[in-house]
């Protein structure tokens, strides 16, 4: 986890809890804590042209704070509608139009101020404008702070498949301001906790056990508990990304629950479930599939479901057609000509990537969870 700081990353002039995503010359800091948005020292100091991309929910809360911290630079803003539906090539094109119209140069910087949708589409625009310019992630949801803002995956959705068009493009810094979570609706907080729980399940049994104890504090927005959960989540993700930036191997573990989850999200038209809720359902399905093939026992399966439920997450997908879920899963990026792969659970704290079990097993698991 140690590495040279990216020379273009902002100087850090006060005590902020920071960790580094170690990727050689593309290493960057993740700053975690309260009050970060208003700290001028945390923003890139050398970019004179800045485009802030945010949305109609987040901008009224935080845009002025960010603008004030940026001082008198050439700052453009784009305010998108809220929701997954703006994560399209059309929005991507809108961002690029603005960059061209405002005559932005290669040494500009984009700031993504919002949740995962804003971060993903802004990051992909930064990856593509002039074949790649700087960007900073300023995640304002728990889900974005612990997952999508870290690791450099950027994308937009294709009308028929999620995250199908994108790039690997690392930010130059991530500002995870815990104060931003105070304005987060409880349902979105829970959605972020699904990814936090995921980290415990895939690699860290102690963190999983800590989450079982700390869940009431987390749901009550206890600042110390939140900061620990975010930091440990980012540490685990940063460590995995540093080992396997382009998902040739270990990084796939981060997709626990996502193959099932993406299929459910898509069948629900990205409206029925939030992404984190779909991931929670996906984790339940992965756990039950693991139990069905004799990996984890029923007790661990129940313990995991209890933790997800205590976080305010769904653990059953009523009324879903198992065949339609399986059909969507075949289109998942984890499928190749050798067939679909899944991340399954050997024990709480250890997940592995394996070829999917036979269709009948998956169908039975889906039928039980949708009945």
Catalytically annotated residues: 131, 153, 195, 237, 247, 251, 255, 258, 262, 275
| Interface residue with its own copies, options 61, 75, 161, 227 (CB under 8 A) | 161
Beta bridge partners of 49: 74
Decide: is 26 part of the binding site for its own copies (CB under 8 A): no
Least Å from the CB of residue 303 to its own copies: 34
HSE toward the beta carbon, residue 186, CA cutoff 13 A: 7
Where is 201: in which H helix or E strand?
Answer: helix 186-203
In terms of C-beta density within 10 A (0-12 exposed, 13-18 middle, 19 or more buried), how is residue 276 classed?
A: buried
| Interface residue with its own copies, options 14, 15, 71, 103 (CB under 8 A) | 103
The first and second tokens of residue 259, run together, are 């193959």
Decide: is 129 part of the binding site for its own copies (CB under 8 A): yes
28-33 and 173-177 beta bridge pairing: parallel
Site for its own copies in 222-281 (CB under 8 A): 246
The CA–CA distances, whole Å, from 264 to 58, 271, 272, 314, 317 equal 26, 10, 9, 12, 8
Least Å from the CB of residue 189 to its own copies: 29
Least Å from the CB of residue 31 to its own copies: 26
| Interface residue with its own copies, options 37, 50, 127, 146 (CB under 8 A) | 127
Decide: is 209 part of the binding site for its own copies (CB under 8 A): no
Decide: is 182 part of the binding site for its own copies (CB under 8 A): no
Site for its own copies in 287-346 (CB under 8 A): 330-331, 333, 335-337
> Rounded distance, CA 136 to CA 142, Å?
17
Least Å from the CB of residue 75 to its own copies: 14
Decide: is 72 part of the binding site for its own copies (CB under 8 A): no
> Rounded distance, CA 130 to CA 105, Å?
8
> Rounded distance, CA 278 to CA 281, Å?
5
Per CB under 8 A, the segment of 163-171, 172-180, 209-217, 219-227 that binds its own copies is 163-171
Other C-beta atoms closer than 10 Å to the C-beta of 346 total 12
Residue placing its CB nearer to its own copies in the complex, 97 or 224:
97
> What does the buried/exposed string (b/e) look like for 49-64 if buried means 16 or more CB atoms within 10 Å of the residue's CB?
bbbbbbbebbbeebbe
| Interface residue with its own copies, options 35, 158, 271, 293 (CB under 8 A) | 158
Least Å from the CB of residue 6 to its own copies: 14
SS3 call for 154: strand
| Interface residue with its own copies, options 97, 224, 321, 323 (CB under 8 A) | 97
Q: Which residues bind its own copies (CB under 8 A)?
A: 48-49, 89, 93, 96-97, 100-101, 103, 105-107, 127-132, 153-155, 158, 160-161, 164-168, 246, 330-331, 333, 335-337
């Amino acid at each position: 986890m140690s590495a040279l700081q990216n020379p273009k990353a902002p100087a850090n002039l006060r005590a902020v809890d920071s960790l580094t995503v170690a990727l050689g010359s593309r290493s960057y800091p993740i700053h975690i804590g309260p009050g970060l948005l208003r700290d001028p020292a945390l923003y890139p100091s050398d970019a004179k042209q800045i485009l802030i991309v945010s949305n109609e929910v987040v901008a009224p809360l935080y845009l002025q704070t960010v603008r004030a911290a940026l001082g008198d630079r050439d700052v453009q803003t784009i305010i998108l509608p809220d929701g997954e539906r703006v994560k399209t090539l059309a929005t991507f094109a809108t961002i690029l139009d603005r960059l061209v119209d405002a005559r932005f140069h290669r040494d500009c910087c984009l700031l993504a101020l919002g949740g995962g949708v804003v971060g993903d589409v802004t990051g992909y625009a930064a990856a593509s404008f002039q074949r790649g310019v700087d960007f900073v992630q300023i995640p304002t949801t728990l889900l974005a702070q612990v997952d999508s803002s870290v690791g450099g995956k950027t994308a937009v959705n294709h009308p028929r498949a999620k995250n199908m068009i994108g790039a690997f493009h690392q930010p130059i810094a991530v500002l995870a301001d815990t104060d931003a979570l105070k304005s987060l609706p409880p349902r979105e907080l829970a959605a972020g906790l699904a990814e936090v729980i995921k980290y415990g399940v895939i690699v860290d049994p102690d963190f999983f056990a800590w989450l079982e104890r700390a869940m009431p504090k987390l749901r009550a927005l206890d600042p110390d508990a939140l900061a620990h959960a975010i930091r440990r989540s980012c540490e685990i993700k940063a460590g995995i990304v540093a080992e396997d930036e382009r998902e040739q191997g270990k990084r796939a573990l981060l997709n626990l629950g996502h193959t099932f989850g993406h299929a459910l999200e898509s069948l629900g038209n990205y409206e029925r479930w939030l992404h984190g809720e779909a991931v929670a359902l996906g984790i339940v399905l992965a756990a039950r599939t693991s139990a069905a093939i004799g990996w984890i026992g029923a007790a661990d399966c129940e313990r995991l479901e209890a933790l997800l439920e205590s976080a305010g997450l769904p653990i059953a997908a009523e009324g879903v057609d198992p065949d339609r879920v399986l059909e969507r899963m075949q289109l998942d990026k984890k499928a190749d000509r050798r067939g679909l792969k899944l991340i399954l659970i050997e024990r709480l704290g250890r997940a592995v990537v394996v070829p999917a079990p036979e269709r009948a097993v998956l169908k039975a698991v889906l039928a039980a969870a949708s009945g």
